[in-house]
Each structure stands twice: as C-alpha cells, then as structure tokens.
C-alpha cells in the first residue's frame, strides 16, 4: 500500500467545519509533503462518534479542494478499519493493562498544568486479578499501553529533537473502539506516512505515538508541529469567533484564492493563485514560530 515514496497527510476529525487555523495547517501539510516529493493523503478521523457530524467529511473535503489541495489515494476512513485496529491491538497483548478510571478521576489524581492533558497517574497499572474482576462489575475497562516510563525521542522540523516520557496511553477505549492514538499510528504506518504535519497541541502526544509505532513495527515518522491559530483573546480559534470558515468568508464575498492569500500572508508568503505557486517560495526555516492571531474584524472587512 505504501508505494516507494513517503507520504504526508492531513487527518481532520469531521466534527465541524474547518476554520482558518485548520485550513492553514492543511496548506502547510500539503506544502511540506509536496516540497519533499511525497504523496499527500487525506484521512477521515471519525471514531469519536458522539462528536462526528453527518456530511461534515464531505464538506471538509470540498473546502480543501477549493483551496487547491490535491490528495493521493488511499483516503482512509477510520470507522471502516475496525478489524485492522483489532489486529494491531492483538499484537500488543502482554503490553497493555485494563484501566477503569474515568477522565475525571484521572484529572483529579494527576497534577497537570492548566489546560494540558494530564499524564496517566498509574491508578490501575498494578491491580490484582481480584481487584480487576471486582471493578469490571461496575465499568468496562479501557486498555492502556504499559510504557514503563520509557523515553522516546522524535525529530521535529520546527521543534528540533524532542525527548519525552511515554505515557500509558489508551489504545482501546472502554466502549471497545480503537483509541485515537492507536488508529493514528496504525493508519500512518499502513499508508507509508513518514512525515506528520499537524497542530502543535499534539506535540506532547508525539513521543507516545512514536513509541507505539515502534512497538507495532512501523518506522518512526519525522514531525512538524505547527503553531495554532488563536483568537484575539489568545484562545484557540473556533467557529464562534466570527467569519472563520471558508463558507463564512465566501458568503462575505471572498474567493477561495483570496482566502488562500490570507493563509499565505500568515505564513510570510506572497499571495498566490494556487498552492503550487507557493511551493518554490516555501521555506520551512522561515515559518513563523508564534501562533497566528486571527482578527475576524480584519478578516471580514
Ligand atoms: N484528527 C486530529 C485533529 O483533527 C489530527 C490528528 C493528527 O494529525 O495526528 O485534531
């Protein structure tokens, strides 16, 4: 499936319309991939069924196409890959443990900086068989990776060499569905993704995902965790911040090419009629390292 060339990818969750920050990350992922003569793949990350919205994957795909991003096959849809994930989980037998904690219990037991994903505090790591049997009566367990405090180093095109402690990440949710981390790693591995470009909110997950990739026999990718878009209040950009989706901006009279120009400008690149025109001027070393603060007023003027 992987072919000879490596690949990059953009992997949106179809939970809402893509906003300017998401679109900018997609443009960057395309530029990084194509500048390295890589294939570029789309992946629909729809395992979080409670948040997935009907028709949103098509809408997102249309928005990406309107900006001129082209994708190579295959496009994976995670909800169709249950058996592939089950096979990967089976190979992890002996390296996982059952965890009965709720999100809230973990947040209370772990001390995490405000807003950060708390590290797993180890609550269920060493339960006895009797304790597990007892807890199973009240709640179905998730499966967590037994990482044993391993260290993992990744190479990031913007952040350099980053080393961190691997967390005991969830690999199977307590509803039996493959967890996000497992699906990402298996999908990237199966499609020959050797370059992962995504928002820098996911940098802390990269060490755990790279470790999991190695356990599953996949090569570790190179990463580029790119700055997020923020609203003027310094919070992560969201739809409620104003006209921030392609549809909003088009409704206000902008063309997709103008929106591409806005994104190019935010990257320190000149306006261009197509993403391909940005390729010769794209220089990862000169990318802004700070978040992009979007002022919807200036966007909408
Ligand atoms: N689906 C994730 C998101 O929309 C991205 C995961 C990834 O790029 O690894 O935030």
User: Which pLDDT band holds residue 138 (cuts at 50, 70, 90)?
Assistant: very high
187 lines ligand 1 (CB under 6 A): no
pLDDT at position 297:
62
The DSSP output letter for 83 is H
- In the reported structure, the alpha carbon of residue 45 is separated from the centroid of ligand 1 by a whole-number distance in angstroms of 7
User: Which pLDDT band holds residue 301 (cuts at 50, 70, 90)?
Assistant: very low
Residue with tokens 């319309």: 17
pLDDT at position 283:
96
22 lines ligand 1 (CB under 6 A): no
13 lines ligand 1 (CB under 6 A): yes
Ligand 1 atom with minimal separation from the 43 CA = 1
| Per-chain mean pLDDT for the chain | 94
- In the reported structure, the alpha carbon of residue 281 is separated from the centroid of ligand 1 by a whole-number distance in angstroms of 26
Which of 61, 156, 202 to mutate to test ligand 1, by most ligand atoms within 8 A of the CB atom?
202
Which of 14, 16, 21, 45 to mutate to test ligand 1, by most ligand atoms within 8 A of the CB atom?
45
Contacts 24+ apart (CB under 8 A), 273-280: 274/68, 275/27, 275/30, 275/31, 275/67, 275/68, 275/69, 276/34, 276/68, 278/27, 278/31, 279/31, 279/34, 279/35
Global pTM?
Answer: 0.94
172 lines ligand 1 (CB under 6 A): no
Q: What confidence tens digit (pLDDT) does each residue in 107-131 have?
A: 888 766 666 678 899 999 999 999 9
229-230 vs 292-293, strand pairing mode: parallel
pLDDT of 234 strictly over 90: yes
Q: What is the mean pLDDT of residues 215-234?
A: 97
| Token couple for 114 | 């405000």
Q: What confidence tens digit (pLDDT) does each residue in 262-286 have?
A: 999 999 999 999 999 999 999 999 9
- In the reported structure, the alpha carbon of residue 181 is separated from the centroid of ligand 1 by a whole-number distance in angstroms of 10
């Amino acid at each position: 499936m992987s072919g000879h060339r490596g690949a990059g990818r953009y992997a949106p969750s179809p939970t809402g319309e893509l906003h300017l920050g998401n679109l900018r990350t997609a443009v960057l992922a395309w530029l990084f991939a194509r500048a390295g003569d890589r294939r570029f793949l789309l992946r629909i990350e729809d395992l979080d069924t409670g948040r997935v919205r009907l028709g949103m994957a098509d809408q997102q795909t249309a928005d990406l196409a309107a900006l001129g991003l082209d994708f190579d096959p295959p496009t994976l849809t995670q909800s169709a890959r249950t058996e592939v994930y089950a096979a990967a989980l089976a190979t992890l037998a002996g390296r996982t443990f059952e965890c009965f904690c709720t999100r809230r219990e973990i947040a209370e037991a772990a001390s995490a900086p405000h807003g950060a994903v708390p590290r797993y505090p180890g609550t269920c790591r060493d339960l006895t068989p009797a304790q597990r049997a007892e807890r199973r009566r009240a709640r179905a367990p998730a499966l967590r990776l037994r990482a044993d405090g391993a260290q993992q180093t990744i190479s990031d095109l913007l952040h350099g060499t980053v080393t961190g402690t691997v967390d005991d990440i969830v690999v199977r949710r307590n509803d039996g569905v493959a967890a996000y981390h497992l699906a990402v790693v298996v999908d990237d591995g199966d499609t020959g993704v050797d370059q992962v470009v995504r928002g820098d909110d996911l940098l802390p997950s990269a060490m755990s995902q790279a470790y999991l990739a190695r356990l599953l026999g996949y090569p570790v990718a190179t990463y580029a965790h790119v700055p997020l878009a923020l609203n003027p209040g310094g919070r992560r950009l969201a739809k409620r911040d104003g006209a921030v989706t392609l549809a909003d901006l088009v409704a206000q009279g902008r063309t997709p090419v103008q929106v591409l120009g806005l994104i190019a400008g935010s990257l320190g690149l000149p306006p261009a009629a197509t993403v391909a025109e940005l390729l010769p001027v794209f220089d990862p070393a000169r990318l802004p390292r700070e978040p992009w603060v979007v002022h919807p007023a200036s966007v909408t003027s």
